[in-house]
Amino acid sequence: MQDLFSSPAPEPDLAHLEALKRSLHEHAHRYYVLDAPTIPDAEYDRLFKALQAIETQHPDLTTPDSPTQRVGGKPLDQFVSVRHAVPMLSIKTETDTEASGAENFDGRARRELGLDESAPAVEYVAEPKFDGLAMSLRYEHGVLVQAATRGDGEMGEDVTQNIRTIGQIPLRLPGTVPPVLEVRGEVYMRRDDFERLNEKQRERGLKTFVNTRNAAAGAVRQLDPSIAAQRPLSFYAYGLGEVTPVEAGGPAFGSHFEMLQTLKNWGFPVSELVQIARGATELVAYYQFIGAQRDGLGFDIDGVVYKVNSLVLQRRMGFVTREPRWAVAHKFPAQEQLTTVLGIDVQVGRTGKLTPVAKLAPVFVGGVTVTNATLHNEDEARRKDVRIGDTVIVRRAGDVIPEVVGVVLPAEGAERGALFTMPRSCPVCGSAAVREAGEVDYRCTGGLFCSAQRKQAILHFAQRRAVEVEGLGDKLVDQLVDCNVIKTLPDLYRLGLTSLAGLDRMADKSAQNIVEALEKSKQTTLPRFLFGLGIRHVGEATAKALARYFGKLDAIMDAPEEQMLLVNDVGPTVAQSLRTFFDQPHNREVVAQLRACGVTWAEGPPAPVLATPFSGQTFVITGTLPTLGRDEAKDLIEAAGGKVAGSVSKKTTYVVAGTEAGSKLAKALELGVTVLDEQGLKELLDDHS
């Protein structure tokens, strides 16, 4: 029944609505395609929420091209089949990975065109061959109405809901586009996004993806678009399908390169690596150039594609067995190969993380000879069931560490090696290796004692928020450790001018400055010293809370877990980590030696536990604040009893956002966390002071 007494929603300003949409489309294009945003994320979020508010009040005004429709829709039972108006044909593959592969194609093209040796060089367009999933985007009157996979070339699947989640793909095009426009291109996943996705999968104990192509294909074929939206995808345009013909007002392109530049002007991402190449010599040069760049690209490619540039010549050359005579894919050497696992070692990283590494029979893959490949962690090694003696698939893409992506199982009944088990002690220093609840990694508890963690321990101890040794940076620590000048933290305070001045590129004045900085650092505070020890899970706020509660370091070192749990900001995980650290005799010895070297701090009686206005409340700071530095804001919050965290979760109480706030602000809005600006933070703290 209609509510006769409720106030009707005010009539929307349609011009304002359209202006909001245009502005959001433009800023999304600048952010995702041009990588040159002109407004901070917070301003984009404000515009987006304004549009959302209008569409919530007036659902009938929500259109398929609205920026709010990038992520939406209900999970599908299955994908609907789509018949391509223009078939998505495959390109012939040239498997000759030498320069002769390009020369062969140029020779065939010249013969097809009836050109003799005296004729000018044929002009081609050369472009990377992206290792992703081919996609056809159909626009009608400038609005994206359908996205379909290649399928068998004739029939694909409608994946429009998932493709809408890709920020690089425009939902609406400028008014200059033809009434019907099908853009063909590649959906792919960047390597950095792929690594982050796999890291999240490992943290959740889920199966990891083998390569970027599989990850992209899996995201596109998710029946639930909300899951697809969590898988970061990108897009490059490289061709056309059905387009309104010239006689009906469609575009008149003369060349493939001209068409690509027009697509770019219409808002589609087109690879900057696309070039015009004339004749076989320039094709070879392009192949070699891209091959040399391959490892440094942010995405996977498995070759390059050559296309005759002139569309008139393309039509003259035509097709053979459903493949164009005017194009070829020239492959690079494979980035996956088979080899044998000779052993499984465990390496210890700078932070104490233990990583199983497969020792391999040497194999040439991805342009280098590989003898080691990561297995990531015990769960991953067991899930892939990698054992000594197995034949495995090894992959190396770009600068990503080579990894074992799968096992070629032997014939049934054949004997295999034992299942991998992570050692319970550090292979470097012999300290206990522990795996905390909810974690996938084992870590060495040696900390200050373990030589594998030496550099990280020194840098952490010397940082500004800890003991602070001014001038002691990465390069100097590398020199000191690599030259065996220092082996433990106390060795820092045994450094003299002679040992420092003997280092490469170390002037007498610089050496004197370091000696003076070390002497100055001996006068510190208990919270700074405790934080500087690098105890897992003990950050600055926790160190301050422990120092306030116990007053003395010896009391902290000897406290049972039950007593530690009485401290604000200390839970079971932190208490166990503290107890594990101080139960290691070598860690206590390091503390004793630092004291003997003259490192001191003021100690006092235990402080009573007082409730503060912000006890138990968590803040996250993101972006650049107008007047407060991040450290200043953090100090103010902690002084009021609050905790400052690095990431936003459901447990976050406030997010303090400045200019250029990014994903943390978006996460806060998604979770409904209260967002403050700098003035709001100051007012909040003043109200409770």
Q: Are 547 and 607 in contact (CB under 8 A)?
A: no
Cβ-count burial 461-473 (b if 16+ within 10 Å, e if not):
bbbeebbbbeebe
Question: pLDDT at position 314, please?
Answer: 94
Q: Under CATH, which number does the domain 474-501+516-601 receive?
A: 1.10.150.20
Q: What is the mean pLDDT of residues 413-431?
A: 91
Select the more confidently predicted residue: 59 or 467: 467
The rounded distance, in Å, linking the Cα atoms of 160 and 148 is 7
Structure token pair of residue 39? 């407004």
Distances (CA, A) of 91 to 134, 232, 235: 12, 27, 19
Question: pLDDT at position 184, please?
Answer: 96
Count the Cβ atoms, other than its own, within 10 Å of residue 182. Answer: 20
DSSP-derived secondary structure letter, 432? B
Q: Concatenated DSSP letters for 14-68?
A: HHHHHHHHHHHHHHHHHHHTSS--SS-HHHHHHHHHHHHHHHHH-GGG--TTSGG
Question: pLDDT at position 76, please?
Answer: 62
Q: What is the mean pLDDT of residues 319-323?
A: 80
Most confident of 54-58, 200-204, 213-217, 416-420: 416-420
Q: Are 565 and 571 in contact (CB under 8 A)?
A: yes
Question: pLDDT at position 498, please?
Answer: 86
The rounded distance, in Å, linking the Cα atoms of 72 and 75 is 9
The rounded distance, in Å, linking the Cα atoms of 343 and 364 is 18
Question: pLDDT at position 269, please?
Answer: 94
Amino acid occupying residue 579? R
- Say whether 289 sits in a helix, a strand or coil: helix
Q: Are 390 and 416 in contact (CB under 8 A)?
A: yes
Q: Which CATH number fits domain 618-687: 2.60.40.10, 3.30.365.10, 3.40.50.10190, 3.40.47.10?
A: 3.40.50.10190
Question: pLDDT at position 398, please?
Answer: 53
Task: List, for residues 70-118, the tens digit of each pLDDT value.
Answer: 655 555 677 899 999 999 988 888 877 788 889 999 999 999 999 998 9
Q: What is the mean pLDDT of residues 219-241?
A: 87
Q: What is the mean pLDDT of residues 620-624?
A: 88
Structure token pair of residue 597? 């070297």
Per the listing, tokens 């056309």 go with 240
Task: List, for residues 506-565, the tens digit of each pLDDT value.
Answer: 888 889 999 999 999 999 999 999 999 999 889 888 999 899 999 999 999 999 999 998
Question: pLDDT at position 391, please?
Answer: 92
Question: pLDDT at position 127, please?
Answer: 96
Question: pLDDT at position 3, please?
Answer: 46
129 as an active site residue: the answer is yes
- Which has the closest alpha carbon to 329: 293, 305, 353, 309? 305
The rounded distance, in Å, linking the Cα atoms of 351 and 346 is 14
Q: What is the mean pLDDT of residues 273-279?
A: 96
User: Which one of the listed residues 21, 49, 74, 129 is annotated catalytic?
Assistant: 129
User: Alpha helix locations (H) across 210-270?
Assistant: 212-220, 225-228, 256-265
User: Alpha helix locations (H) across 246-371?
Assistant: 256-265, 279-293, 311-317
The rounded distance, in Å, linking the Cα atoms of 235 and 144 is 15
% residues pLDDT > 90 (the chain): 43
Bin 321: left if φ > 0, else alpha if -120 < ψ < 50, else beta.
left
The rounded distance, in Å, linking the Cα atoms of 488 and 477 is 12
Distances (CA, A) of 279 to 88, 113, 125, 307, 308: 27, 13, 11, 12, 10
Question: pLDDT at position 612, please?
Answer: 67
Query: Cα dihedral angle (31, 32, 34, 40), rounded to 10 degrees?
Result: 10
Per the listing, tokens 């490619």 go with 301
Rg (CA), the chain: 31
Q: Compute the half-sphere exposure of residue 592: CA atoms within 13 Å on the CB side of its CA.
A: 7
Q: What is the mean pLDDT of residues 349-366?
A: 89
- Which has the closest alpha carbon to 565: 551, 549, 553, 587? 549
Select the more confidently predicted residue: 377 or 3: 377
The rounded distance, in Å, linking the Cα atoms of 571 and 626 is 34
Question: pLDDT at position 136, please?
Answer: 95
Question: pLDDT at position 222, please?
Answer: 85
Per the listing, tokens 């030589």 go with 451
What residues contact 325, with CB distance under 8 A and at least 6 apart?
108, 109, 112, 317, 318, 319
Q: Which CATH number fits domain 107-331: 3.40.109.10, 3.40.47.10, 3.30.470.30, 3.40.50.10710?
A: 3.30.470.30
CATH fold of 14-69 reads: Helix Hairpins (1.10.287)
CA atoms 199, 201, 204, 206: torsion sign = negative
At residue 142 the predicted structure's pLDDT band, cuts being 50, 70 and 90, is very high
Calculate the average pLDDT of the chain.
Answer: 86
Q: Are 487 and 464 in contact (CB under 8 A)?
A: no
The rounded distance, in Å, linking the Cα atoms of 429 and 434 is 14
Per the listing, tokens 């586009």 go with 177
- Which has the closest alpha carbon to 205: 361, 7, 376, 448? 376
Domain map of the chain by residue range? 14-69, 107-331, 474-501+516-601, 618-687
Whether residue 203 is predicted with pLDDT greater than 80 in this model: the reply is no
